[in-house]
Structure 1
Amino acid sequence: MSLLLAVALRIVAVACLCFALAVAWVVFDTDRAVETETEGTANRVARQLTQFYMLGSANTFYGPPFTARHSIAIVAVMSPGVCVEFTAPVAGSRRLCSGWNGLGRTAPLWFSQLFGRWFSPGAPIERPVIVTGQPTMHVLATHDPVAATTRAWHQLRVVVGLAAAMAAGIAVLSVLAIGHALAPARRIIAGLKRLEQGDYASRLPAFGTTEFNRIAGAANDLAAKLATTTAERTMLTQRLFEVQETERRALARDLHDEFGQCLTATGALAASLASAAPAGRPDLADDALAIGRVTARMMATLKNALARLRPPELDEVGLEASLRGMVAAWNLHGARSAAFRLDIDGDLAGLAPDDALNVYRIAQECLTNAARHSGASVVHLHVACTPDDEIAVIVDDDGEGDPAVLAASTGYGILGIRERVGALGGSFGVVRTARGLRIEARFHAAADGSRRMAAA
């Protein structure tokens, strides 16, 4: 859930709570007002009756003359919807009610039931009529429950409409204001996404809020540190590959000069022993020939190792011929169940020695990985150099390789390719295709030879 939505939901919840409290307060206040008006009516009618009694005689007040004139005077001091009852000694019981039709349509049944359950709008209030210090009669005032409920309903409608409009307005304006205040968060997230994608040169601008400024400052500091760390790691990786190539060349030279010469001498000695063996000792000739065969196999293995440590033809015949020779060697001595194919687009002759060596090493590792782990029947190597000096090395196979397994692999093949391409500032990916697996490496050629590997 987004922060804006979470805050908006909280604002709506607070607005609903305030709305419910406003409704409860309106109903409660209406009930108190009804009770106050009933009590006030009882007091006013009691005073009016006291005045009538004191101004006239007993026969005048309690007898037949107490009709319309007295009733109108009493109703005039009554609140709408209130009824009063009193009993005169001579005139008998009287009940007068004040009209309330001006309140409008009656309340719905459900509201009347709820209002009557929670409150008692028709509770009677009694007041004595005091004349000459003695209570002559009692006035009983009650509020019509229908009038009280209708009054509460109409007041509630007005207040609820106003409260709902205010709550909705406050909620909308609050969401807009908070959305505007949180707008920098989207820019910060976009900046962090750029950092995730490796754009360490991007920086976040200054914001008008102190908190967002602190976050932006921390993100910019992190980007600067990542840029510095990445540059240092790239330089270290390049240096490691330079040292690796130096060691490979030195090891290849030592193997060729020492081990190769020893194998050559061993083969010559075995041939000499086989030819000089006495006629009566065929076993010596057989042993000498066996030593020669073992020596030949060791010499072939040594040649393959020397080709992997340092391809001698790369400096002599160029990258394209070296790649074709490598693919031919895989077809001849590699996995018998797989056929290796090579496509070259663009001119590879103009590449700097370091870029040519990088292409050769990447292709070498990719083909080795495909031959050993994919179980493919066809492995297709595609090397391209575009006019904008972008170099692409792509290996497609029809095997059952899994990109997730390769990503989690602890082997040095894929990891070495990834580190090499990363040090060159390029991109590397392993994806599943409709036919099988694709390993793709891309980087730009060094126009000035700035990435030249150290030679032995």
Structure 2
Amino acid sequence: MEMSSLLMRRAAWVTLLGLCCALLAALWQAQVNVRHEGIGAQRTAELVAHLTALQGGGQAGAGASLGALRRINASGELRHLQLLLKDGEGRVLVGPAQQEAVPALFRALRWVQARWHGPAAAPAQTWRIARGDGSDWQASLVWNPLSEQREAFGDIVGVLALLGLFSATMLGGVCWVVRRALAPLRDILDAISRYERSDYAHRLPAMPTRELDAIARALNHLAGALAHTQATRRALSLRVLTLQEQERARLARELHDEFGQVLTAMRADTAYMARKTRADPALNAVAQDLANHCERIHLDVRDLLHGLRPHGLLPGSGPVPLARMLGELVEGWRGQAGGHTAFALRLDLDGADLPDELALSLYRMTQEALTNVVRHARAGQANVSLRADGAGTVDWSVEDDGVGMAAASQSARQGHGLDGLRERVWAHGAEIEISESAPGADRPGLRLAARFCLAGAGGPAELVNHDDWAQEA
């Protein structure tokens, strides 16, 4: 069903409901008016009866009739008329009732009526009442517009109230119709929010209208395309990281096989020159300097080989010994940091079988994170944690008590590795979480954390907390 048809059908039902409410209100008002007219007719009949009783009656009967006539006048239920009764000497026996207080709007209505139509006419019908004692009384029925004006005012107020009720019913109904018709938009907005968080597994159900259903199907198609694209990008990124490791291994092999042999021959030649020039101190000093330079180059090449190919690791040489690699990495940083930073390592893999690609990425991530700690954080303590739980996930984190996020953001702008960390984490289906280790402290520190799924179904990273640390490795 189209949105316009759905809205029109529901609006028609709302309109019908409003008309029914208006009809009920009009019937109620008509019932009230009919009741007032009936009461007015009854009071008129009573007035005529009491006036008839005054003709030729005695004094005792006249008192009762006069009292009844005064009550009828005072009740205000005598429609359109008021009685004026005078005795033979012109004294008023029954006069018009005192005007009651009327609402300001009623007074305004009477003022407008007087301005448009002039002062209201006051016709009177007068006749004589012959008393038994020979006196003649004079009775007059004077037109009283107050009741009609009150009825007109009531009709106006009723119409306004009816219009207000109808308008409120229509507005409420339209609001309800629009909310019901657009309620599926909340599901669509929720789906878009999920897609913004890269949760492309969510799918929208069928929608009640053609337009919204078309949007839902388009979003589902878009989510599927984005999921496929993201999976492809992650596979390519992981492939690039694997090729980088393979290229590092190839370079390490070339340096070891070619450059290493040349350096070994150079050191042998410089040693020979040193022995042959012992008789010439100047030449011997030059030979010794060459020997020292060759030794320093040899040590630098060895460190470079260790960085390119940690622990002699080659593709296809067996499972990656991650625990041993991380232990030696932390131990190596402890020896190079000059005693300014203490390192702690917590490993709890619980026999988890990590893929080689993930193991190498965890090693490279830890290597880069500790490099940033030593170079930029000016920290006194750095903690590395790697834990595997029984649910098939691995939690990784590196935190320190250094200068915190300002230094981290500055190092990111200078290209010091946080982007590389994000790329590695994302390639394995997770996201890195960056936060302060001690929020609000003078030295808030920095915490890097990510959660990896060993099943290969990448999900968003989750920040994990470790309150206790193992003894320093």
Please give the TM-score of this superposition, normalised by the length of structure 1. 0.64
What is aligned with 1:85?
none
What is aligned with 1:34?
none
Letter in structure 1 aligned against 2:115: S
Give, in whole Å, the separation in 1 of the partners of 2:293 and 2:351: 39
1:362–1:393 Cα contact (<8 Å) kept? no
Give, in whole Å, the separation in 1 of the partners of 2:411 and 2:185: 33
Give, in whole Å, the separation in 1 of the partners of 2:445 and 2:307: 26
CA shift at 1:224, angstroms? Answer: 1.5
Letter in structure 1 aligned against 2:415: G
1:267–1:295 Cα contact (<8 Å) kept? yes
Secondary structure class of the residue paired with 2:417: helix
Secondary structure class of the residue paired with 1:207: coil
CA shift at 1:107, angstroms? Answer: 4.1
Give, in whole Å, the separation in 1 of the partners of 2:304 and 2:247: 14
Is 2:265 aligned against 1:250?
Answer: no
Give, in whole Å, the separation in 2 of the partners of 1:428 and 1:305: 28
Report 1:383-422 matches (<5 A): 383-402=386-405, 405=409, 409=413, 411=415, 413-422=417-426
1:252–1:306 Cα contact (<8 Å) kept? yes
Report 1:192-203 matches (<5 A): 192-203=192-203
TM-aligned CA distance change 1:144 to 1:278, over 3 Å: farther
Give, in whole Å, the separation in 2 of the partners of 1:375 and 1:114: 86
2:412–2:419 Cα contact (<8 Å) kept? no
Is 2:132 aligned against 1:123?
Answer: no
Secondary structure class of the residue paired with 1:291: helix
Secondary structure class of the residue paired with 1:211: helix
Instruction: Determine which of 414, 429, 453 is the counterpart of 1:444.
Output: 453
Give, in whole Å, the separation in 2 of the partners of 1:321 and 1:235: 28
CA shift at 1:268, angstroms? Answer: 2.9
Stretches of structure 1 that go unaligned for 5 or more consecutive residues are 1-10, 12-78, 82-98, 127-142, 448-456
TM-aligned CA distance change 1:122 to 1:327, over 3 Å: same
What is aligned with 2:181?
181
2:80–2:148 Cα contact (<8 Å) kept? no
Cα deviation, 1:8-42, whole Å, max 9, x if unaligned, reads xxx9xxxxxxxxxxxxxxxxxxxxxxxxxxxxxxx
Give, in whole Å, the separation in 2 of the partners of 1:352 and 1:441: 16
Number of residues of Structure 1 aligned to a counterpart in Structure 2: 337
TM-aligned CA distance change 1:412 to 1:373, over 3 Å: closer
CA shift at 1:111, angstroms? Answer: 6.2
Give, in whole Å, the separation in 1 of the partners of 2:412 and 2:159: 65
Deviates more, 1:360-369 or 1:116-125: 116-125
What is aligned with 2:436?
432
Cα deviation, 1:338-381, whole Å, max 9, x if unaligned, reads 22221111335743433322221221122122222222221111
Report 1:137-216 matches (<5 A): 153-216=153-216
Instruction: Among all aligned residue pairs of Structure 1 and Structure 2, give the percentage whose two residues are the same amino acid.
Output: 35
Give, in whole Å, the separation in 2 of the partners of 1:408 and 1:333: 23
CA shift at 1:437, angstroms? Answer: 0.9
Cα deviation, 1:383-411, whole Å, max 9, x if unaligned, reads 11222332222101111232882796362
What is aligned with 1:331?
334
What is aligned with 2:55?
none
Give, in whole Å, the separation in 1 of the partners of 2:405 and 2:337: 22
Report 1:31-430 matches (<5 A): 107-109=102-104, 112-113=107-108, 116=111, 120-123=115-118, 153-279=153-279, 281-313=280-312, 318-334=321-337, 336-347=339-350, 350-402=353-405, 405=409, 409=413, 411=415, 413-430=417-434
Please give the TM-score of this superposition, normalised by the length of structure 2. 0.62
What is aligned with 2:32?
none
Deviates more, 1:198-207 or 1:409-418: 409-418
Give, in whole Å, the separation in 1 of the partners of 2:166 and 2:101: 26
Secondary structure class of the residue paired with 2:451: strand
CA shift at 1:219, angstroms? Answer: 0.7
CA shift at 1:188, angstroms? Answer: 0.8
Give, in whole Å, the separation in 1 of the partners of 2:284 and 2:144: 134
TM-aligned CA distance change 1:124 to 1:296, over 3 Å: same
TM-aligned CA distance change 1:305 to 1:152, over 3 Å: farther
Give, in whole Å, the separation in 2 of the partners of 1:183 and 1:343: 50
TM-aligned CA distance change 1:306 to 1:119, over 3 Å: farther
Cα deviation, 1:151-185, whole Å, max 9, x if unaligned, reads 65433322232222222222222222221111101
Letter in structure 2 aligned against 1:248: R
CA shift at 1:251, angstroms? Answer: 1.0
Letter in structure 2 aligned against 1:197: R
Cα deviation, 1:39-61, whole Å, max 9, x if unaligned, reads xxxxxxxxxxxxxxxxxxxxxxx
Stretches of structure 2 that go unaligned for 5 or more consecutive residues are 1-10, 12-78, 82-94, 122-142, 439-443, 457-473
Give, in whole Å, the separation in 2 of the partners of 1:154 and 1:105: 16
Secondary structure class of the residue paired with 1:199: coil
Letter in structure 1 aligned against 2:436: R
Give, in whole Å, the separation in 2 of the partners of 1:222 and 1:106: 72
1:406–1:414 Cα contact (<8 Å) kept? no
Letter in structure 2 aligned against 1:278: R
Letter in structure 2 aligned against 1:293: N
TM-aligned CA distance change 1:112 to 1:276, over 3 Å: farther
CA shift at 1:106, angstroms? Answer: 5.4
CA shift at 1:260, angstroms? Answer: 2.3
Secondary structure class of the residue paired with 2:343: strand
TM-aligned CA distance change 1:291 to 1:80, over 3 Å: farther
Letter in structure 2 aligned against 1:120: R
TM-aligned CA distance change 1:393 to 1:118, over 3 Å: farther
